[in-house]
Amino acid sequence: MRLADYLDKGASLGGDAPCLTMNEETLTYAEVVRQSRQVAGALQASGLRRGDRVAVLSGNDPLALTCVFGLSRAGAVWCPVNPRNEAEENRQLLDLFGCRFLLFQKKFAPLVARIRDRLPELEMLVCLDGEVEGALAFPDWISGGVEPDEAPAAAEEPCMLAGTGGTTGKPKGVRLSANTMATATALTLMSYPFGDRPRYLALAPLTHSAGVLTFPVLTLGGEIVIMPDPDLGEFLRLVEHHRVTHAFLPPTVIYGLLDHPALDSTELGSLRCLWYGAAPMSPTRLEEALTRIGPVLGQLFGQTEAPNMIATLAPADHFRADGSVAVERLSSAGRPSPLTQVAVMDTKGILLPRDERGEIVVRGPLVMSGYHENPEATAAASTHGWHHTGDIGYLDEENFLYIVDRAKDMIITGGFNVYSAEVEQALRAHPAVQDCAVLGLPDDKWGERVTAVVQLRPDRHAESADLIAFVKQRLGGVKAPKQLEVWPDLPRSKIGKVLKPEIRTRLHPLD
C-alpha cells in the first residue's frame, strides 16, 4: 500500500465524513483526497520523477499532512523534516536524501533561507501558507497541475526516508518501504483496541510516531484532530469536546498531564487508547495514570528503523486477570508483536535463553530496508541476520520484553556491570522525582562512578543524600549513585528524549 492508500481506504467508507480537523475547521475525506491529487499533479507537472525525494518542513498542520498523501500519489518518497532540528542538521538530512522539492510553512522561511544555497540538488521551493521570495505560493503551484499518474507502489519500494537525529554525529537516513509501513499499520490495528471511526488527537509532532499512527486511524474512516501547538490544557479540552478515542504522548508529557489542575475535572470516558512511548516511563507514575486517566494506557516500543511496533503493551496487559494493576509488568515494554521476531543475542551472535540479558535483536517485515547510501552502517546493524536495536534487555518466562539499558550506556564500576536504566527506574519510584538520567563518569577509584541528574516534580523537594539512600535501599550500594545532582530541567531532544551526551559534557567537560 502507498501512504495515500490509507486515506483512500477511509474515503471509501464515506467521502463526507470528517477527516482532518484543526481549530474547529474540518476537511472531509473527499476534500483531502481532492487536494492530495492536486498536489500530486503539481509535483508531476513540476518535473518530479518516480522515486524523487520530497521534503515537508512544517509543524502539525492539515495541509502538510495532505501533501504527504499527494507526494505518495505522485510516486515520490516522503522526507519529513522536524522544524525543531538545528538548521545544520536539517541541511545535512536534505543533502543526504538529495531532495529536489521542499514544501514548507512560511514561519520556517528563515530556516530555509539559511540552508537553501547549500543544497545543490534542491530545485523547487513551495510555501504552503503565504508568499516567500524564491518560492512558489501553494495556490499558484497547484493551479498549474495536471491529472496525476498514480502507479501502484512496489512492496519494497521506499515510501519514507526518516532521519535518525544527529546527537552522536552526522544523522543517518532510514529507508522505510511500503511493506514496512503496511506492517506497522496492520500491527497497530491488531494490537490495540479500535472501533468504528476512531478520533485521534495529534499533539506530538506528526513527523514522528504521532504521524505514523494516523494511518491505521484513516483506514477505519476516523478523524484526525490536529493540535498546531502543544498545550496540555487545550489537549484536555479537545479530548472532551471531540470525544477523542486515541492519542499518543511521550512519558514526560503524561507526567505534565498528571500534574495539570484540569485533569480530574475533564471527562475522559471516550478514550480507548492513550499510547505512550519514545522513552522509559516511571512505573509509579504509570500506575497513577491508570487510576486517574483510566485503564486505557498502551505502550509502543520501536525505533526509527522498526517503527513503533517491535513490542506492545496493550491496555489490558497493564492489569491482572482479577482486574488489579499488574505492577510487576509496568516496567516491561510488552510482548513482541505479531509478524515480528524478537530475540536477545550475545556479542558473539548466539541467541540467549529466557531471563538472560543481551542485545535486543529483531527481524521481519517491520524492519527497515537499510540506511540511505550507507552500506557500512546497514551491514553493522544487521549482522548475524538480525537487526540490532542497540538496547540491552531480556525476555521473561511469559514472553514480556524488558529493556535494561542502551548498550552504550552500561556503566562498569568496580568491576561490576550497572545498567543505567535500572537505576533510573529506581529513582523514578521516588515520589518527588519527575525524571532523571544516570550515566558513568571517569573515577580514579571505581573506573566509572554511577552519576545521576534528577528533575524534581513541581512543588516537591528532596535532598541528594536522601535520593541516594532511596536507591541504595532498593538496589544496593554498588548500583546506587556516588554523585547525584538536582537540576531544574533535563536537556531533551525534539521528541522528548533526555540527551545524555549534553549532560555528560556539562558534568565532565573534558570527557
pLDDT in tens, 310-322: 999 999 999 999 9
> How high is the pLDDT of residue 37?
97
Instruction: Give the amino acid at 360.
Output: I
Cell of 59: 509543524
> How high is the pLDDT of residue 82?
85
Residue 433 has pLDDT above 90, yes or no: yes
> How high is the pLDDT of residue 495?
67
Instruction: Give the amino acid at 389.
Output: T
User: Strand 387-395 to strand 358-363: parallel, antiparallel, or no bridges (unpaired)?
Assistant: antiparallel
At which residue does the C-alpha cell 540479558 appear?
Answer: 357
438-489 confidence digits (pLDDT tens): 999 988 888 889 999 999 999 899 999 999 999 999 998 889 999 999 999 9
Q: Tell me what the mean pLDDT of segment 115-126 comes to.
A: 96
Residue 71's nearest CA partner among 31, 36, 47, 46 is: 36
Q: Which residues contact 365 (CB under 8 A, 6 or more apart)?
A: 179, 180, 183, 339
179-188 confidence digits (pLDDT tens): 999 999 999 9
- Tell me the whole-structure pTM to 2 decimals: 0.86
User: Strand 101-104 to strand 124-127: parallel, antiparallel, or no bridges (unpaired)?
Assistant: parallel
Q: Tell me what the mean pLDDT of segment 492-509 comes to.
A: 84
Q: Which residues contact 60 (CB under 8 A, 6 or more apart)?
A: 22, 202, 203, 205, 206, 226, 227, 228
Residue 314's nearest CA partner among 193, 417, 408, 400 is: 193
Residue 497 has pLDDT above 70, yes or no: yes
More confident of the two residues 266 and 509: 266
Beta carbons of 115 and 92 less than 8 angstroms apart: no
Q: Which residues contact 65 (CB under 8 A, 6 or more apart)?
A: 20, 206, 211, 214, 224, 226
Residue 168 has pLDDT above 50, yes or no: no
Residue 165 has pLDDT above 60, yes or no: no
358-371 confidence digits (pLDDT tens): 999 999 999 999 99
Domains belonging to the chain, first-starting first, are 26-152 (3.40.50.980), 180-406 (3.40.50.12780), 410-507 (3.30.300.30)
CA pair distance 480, 478, nearest whole angstrom? 6
The angle at the Cα of 278, spanning 303 to 89, to the nearest 5 degrees, equals 70
Residue 396's nearest CA partner among 355, 353, 336, 361 is: 355
CA pair distance 39, 126, nearest whole angstrom? 11
Q: Give me the helices (H) in 245-327, please.
A: 251-258, 283-292
Provide the percentage of residues in the chain whose pLDDT is more than 70: 98
At which residue does the C-alpha cell 516496567 appear?
Answer: 331
Residue 250 has pLDDT above 90, yes or no: no
The angle at the Cα of 103, spanning 138 to 30, to the nearest 5 degrees, equals 60
**What's the N-to-C CA distance of the chain in angstroms?**
48
Question: Element (H or E) spanning 264, and its range?
Answer: none
Residue 503's nearest CA partner among 445, 442, 441 is: 441
CA pair distance 108, 61, nearest whole angstrom? 13
SS3 454: strand
User: Strand 447-456 to strand 53-57: parallel, antiparallel, or no bridges (unpaired)?
Assistant: unpaired
51-96 confidence digits (pLDDT tens): 999 999 999 999 999 999 999 999 999 999 988 777 888 999 999 9
> How high is the pLDDT of residue 511?
45
> How high is the pLDDT of residue 65?
97
CA pair distance 257, 276, nearest whole angstrom? 12
